[in-house]
Structure 1
């Protein structure tokens, strides 16, 4: 069925979530999500997770299902936020908070450190690198945070913070996905 996704693992495993049509909303494919959470298997339990441009909430709900202590979903579209709230209630996912806000405006506030950040902005809008820099500069990352970036395949991610190192990367059709680790607090390159 269109506009439906399935949680892959954890306590909400196999639960189906519905989401509305919205411009640019494209849930992370199941195969990519499974790969990502295999990469993060030792980092999610008890973690504080931030899902920017949450859309369907696939990444944030998957993190909550796998034991994240706190998951913040940030999404600007009101109808999409209502669906996120419905899915949160359906799952009784108490660790999940839904915030209706423009991501750039949200990140311009005082940061609170997160252990894992999911960054999956609309494609071809040039949002990835500026968001990554603000995450680093405004205190949104814990000392060894993991940052997942999903973007159009072939996008060159030049200008990311110099203290991030790539841990893993992959490609699935039109999607390029990358997992970074923040190594220390330092200047951007």
Structure 2
């Protein structure tokens, strides 16, 4: 797994490095999930070392199966690189024209344009990597009460398509945003 993506710096933000999760990311993952807001938006919060190790194992398995690609998003800091987000391309199936992109942003990185740049980098990579497999559309889904995710979708080139009715395990209606292959 030597894939590394980059998102260029902006006048007000550092560049981003996106790479597959590694075993030594356990502590950074646990730090990110200490945020109650992040835990409230995720279906499977990571609250223990065992859960963090399982998260990293599932990430490796997804890459190995060539169906789910989770990227740790890192930003340069005075102390080295620090984890600022996660972006995942999931449900990739050869011959199926669509897949889904999901993400979360660590609390200190919110509101600084990290998520849109990271989602754009993974989306561009997905269309290039899976064009021959027939991928023509990416979907980004979120609950209706998460307006920040609407803004991330729009800034990343995803157009609002429809409201999705709530269904387990999601307690609220959702939005589907779509980005088409250029």
- TM bucket (normalised to shorter chain) is 0.3 to 0.5
Richer in helix (by share): 2
Normalising by structure 2, we get a TM-score of 0.37
Taking structure 1 as the reference length, what is the TM-score of the superposition? 0.36
